Amino acid sequence: MKQIFFIAGTDTDAGKTHIACQLLRAAQQRGLRTLSLKPLAAGAENTVEGLRNSDALMLQQASTLQLPYADINPFCFAEAIAPHIAAEKNGARLSAKEIAQRVHQVLNTVDFDYALIEGAGGWRVPLNETETLADVVKLLNLPVILVVGMKLGCLNHALLTAEAIKTDGVALHSWVANDFGKPMPYWAENIAALEQKIPAPRIAL
């Protein structure tokens, strides 16, 4: 049975891509065929092949199934700013339906066992005047793995995000604590607080 999850973060730079790559490698070690998509990204280098987002490239490299970059990151903007602003500056308008359709096209045409769809920024990043990234997840109907960037303020960010996911009617499958390579002060106490209050199990990587 195919496993597909949406990777959300408590905020920008929570470590979504780092954790997604770890999950992909763990799935590969189990013999699974993996792929990962980052349908929306703002912040990219202009190369001879076009705009390339570093997170999308990392996900591409960590996947066992090598897809064209345009399938992995169909909506890409150069400036590292809020996606809806980046789109407006480029004469475009983001749509939750269009983003979800592009994801479905890949998932419905590629033979895989394990797939991760990585978000951009936090849960309620605006796409336009009325929609947020959460609307894409609702259309995709995917369970969420929440990446918590373990730093001062993470308790509030994590609990608000978990609450928003529940409010939006999306399943919170699990969460991961990203230590950024160096555990924060009172790591155990912060983990204990989150384990008590987040209504989903923690994945230990």
Known catalytic residues are 38
Pairing label, strands 50-52, 144-149: unpaired
Q: Which amino acid is at 84?
A: H
- Give the whole-angstrom CA distance, residue 39 versus residue 72: 6
Query: Nearest-CA neighbor of 189 among 146, 160, 152, 162?
Result: 152
- Give the whole-angstrom CA distance, residue 8 versus residue 56: 15
Question: Cβ distance 123 to 163 under 8 Å?
Answer: no
Rounded (10°) CA dihedral 128, 134, 140, 141:
-150
How far are the Cα atoms of 2, 38, 66, 85 from residue 142, in angstroms, in the given order?
12, 14, 22, 26
